[in-house]
Structure 1
């Protein structure tokens, strides 16, 4: 459907325009969701560092297992799906541009991530930056102690904007995690400000806050039609990151948002969201080739993706959580070997001890 909206015939449809160039885009906007996820990830990792039980020695193996085990599962799932027939007729430019196979070199690239991704399982590009930031977390932890958290956040926002303008993915995306780290560093102060503002203006202030976050997150699409891509990339990155920060704050401090997020169906979707994110694309490709219709692809792929995402969570992601926690619980730093106990032969006699000089 997204490909049809962008790459289909030039139909002047108000609905199509609204779904692309207004805040309605957020209903299916993947790039904006990634920014929110990166901010939230930086926040959560920074908060974990504050725990008394946190250990860098345990962090690295548990974190790597937590990220890579689902990646291995997603690559294996894509290999399985791509073995099925893909001979359906489709006029979708996105589908016709998808790779028909999964060469071994691409598989190796996707299960290692650090050198880039093949694009066969396109969501893996975000996991690459997640892994790199996870390895760089000590640098972020040092930075938030070396300079004020608000200053770190400001620097990271500027760097992300420069990266977007320069077309540098590393510079665009890695600082967004740093914004989450800075957000955690200012969390107590933010809580006090939110409490004072809510007491003074009432809970309806959250309506204006959430509307502002919606507009900020939609800024790329609001500016794209009138200004074009080149200027929009420069102007939209900072508002999008700020919108993501506001959304994370609202998720904790706004009671309405908390109720929505803890509603059982939404909480269930949130629980399997990572699994759904990793495997949904091969399912969409498969059903598009089977049904040869965008409408029937939507009708069939959505329930199938939800079902398989739940199974993926049960078989792959949840066990990965358990393994990661077990490694974290049992990983302990190497202890220095105790000094060997003195033997009777090495113990001086009392007369020798009495004659030994005493040093102040």
Structure 2
């Protein structure tokens, strides 16, 4: 959460907004979408279609260069306008230290965890490091087999993450390892779609699995208080939903995700992720807090969500032109223009930067 203190919220605010603590669910959805999106081209071509380092160079241009621009903006604001502790989650980004700066500059903040400068950037480093594994995953798949290897990887990484995240252990790079397993599941879900698109049972089974996994995630979270397994269940539900939509199930969800407003929002979603924490903190620090709202008051948070949400989208739209568009491939630009003009297909995946 961005506005709650680091401890769990209390009082009426907790009753209304405590669900915002579970941001890892959103990361799980994104990681699965990323694996699915990156697998679209290899699934069609029967392989990566380029050299290992050519793939890494393209990912560097698409992900790291926009991230560095957002890092520079975050650094300036964390040292100036947003450099005061206000009791919100943004306090984790303060103070700015030299070790934290170099960790972020080298995109190593998931290895040597540091929330300094901007506390949401850890997942950018996580995604960047997963890219180094993706071509290797494709090669091993071709020799060992997809399903067994992916499920084994998911079990292994989830187990390691569960142990590394325990109190007193806390090894950041291992704590996030379950997302590697979910990335592989997302990539696998695209190959399942490619192989079984003509089987009606695939879509029906996948849609039922998606609902069942979401129910399981709720039980794991509420009854067992196991966030790691709940996050994995949400990721698996996302993969199942993707297969279902590609097999003409979950039609309403497919149409919703394919609507022009959400296509447009998906286009700028990486920019939105990079800069939203800055906007949320600025709205709280300079608009709501000075007028008397406090963290424990639901009214302040109720005002913050829509106001900061709208301003974050507008700011992300502007950042997209400066920090993302110059680094997009020509193919990606043509696809975006086609989608905006209504000529694009009904592909439900728009949020993972994969071109």
Counterpart check, 1:214 vs 2:214 = yes
Residues of 1 paired with 2:279 and 2:79: CA distance? 12
Q: How does 1:64-213 map to 2 (within 5 A)?
A: 64-86=60-82, 90=86, 92=87, 94-95=89-90, 97-114=91-108, 115-119=111-115, 120-167=117-164, 168-193=174-199, 195-196=200-201, 208=208, 210-213=210-213
In structure 2, runs of 5+ residues without a counterpart are: 165-173, 294-299, 334-355
Q: CA distance change for structure 1 residues 3 and 159 in 2, over 3 Å: closer, same or farther? A: farther
| Separation in 2, partners of 1:242, 1:311 | 34
CA shift for structure 1 position 310: 0.3
- Where 1:7 maps in the other structure, the secondary structure is coil
Q: Using the alignment, how far apart are the partners of 1:158 and 1:247 within structure 2?
A: 20
Matches within 5 A, 1:50-65: 50-52=43-45, 54-56=49-51, 57-65=53-61
How many Å apart are 1:117 and its aligned residue? 4.9
Tell me if the contact between 1:250 and 1:257 (Cα under 8 Å) persists in the aligned partners. no
> 1:2/1:112 Cα in 2 relative to 1: closer, same or farther (>3 Å)?
closer
Which one is further off, 232-241 or 167-176?
232-241
Residue 7 of structure 1 pairs with residue 8 of structure 2: yes
Which residue number corresponds to residue 236 of structure 2? Answer: 242
Q: TM-score, normalised by structure 2?
A: 0.73
What's the CA shift for 1:149? 1.4
Distance 2:88 2:25 in 1: 23
What secondary structure, in the 3-state scheme, does the structure 2 residue paired with 1:55 have? Answer: coil
Deviations 1:208-265 (A, max 9, x none): 5553343244455333xxx34xxx2465354233222223223433322221011121
Please name the residue that 2:36 is paired with.
43
- Paired with 1:75 and 1:141, the residues of 2 have a C-alpha distance of 31
Which deviates the most, 137-146 or 75-84? 75-84
Mark the CA change 1:184 to 1:78 in structure 2 (over 3 Å): closer, same or farther: same
Give a deviation string over 1:169-195, Cα, whole Å, max 9, x none.
2532222222223323333344344x2
Conserved? CA contact 1:217–1:244, under 8 Å: no
Counterparts of 1:82 and 1:324 in 2: how far apart (Å)?
A: 36
TM-score of the two chains, using structure 1 as the length reference = 0.72
- Distance (Å, rounded) in 2 between the aligned partners of 1:159 and 1:101: 36
Give 1:301's aligned residue.
308
**CA distance, structure 2, for counterparts of residue 11 and residue 187 of structure 1:** 45
Distance 1:65 1:163 in 2: 31
Give the C-alpha shift of residue 272 in structure 1: 1.2
Q: SS of the residue aligned with 2:118? A: coil
Instruction: Give CA-to-partner distance per residue, 1:68-118, whole Å, 9 cap, x none.
Output: 11111110121232244348785x4534x3333433442332122135453
Partner of 2:352: none
Contact 2:24/2:231 (<8 A) preserved: no
Q: Deviations over 1:40-71 (max 9, x none)?
A: 22222233234549211532211111111111
Between the aligned partners of 2:216 and 2:153, the Cα distance in structure 1 is: 17
Q: Relative to 1, partners in 2 of residues 1:246 and 1:94: Cα closer, same or farther, differing over 3 Å?
A: same
Aligned residues, how many?
304
| Partner secondary structure for residue 94 of structure 2 | coil
Q: Looking at CA atoms only, which structure, 1 or 2, has the larger radius of gyration? A: 1
Q: Aligned partners of 2:83, 2:121: CA distance in 1, in Å?
A: 25
Q: Please point out which of 315, 325, 336 is paired with 1:318.
A: 325
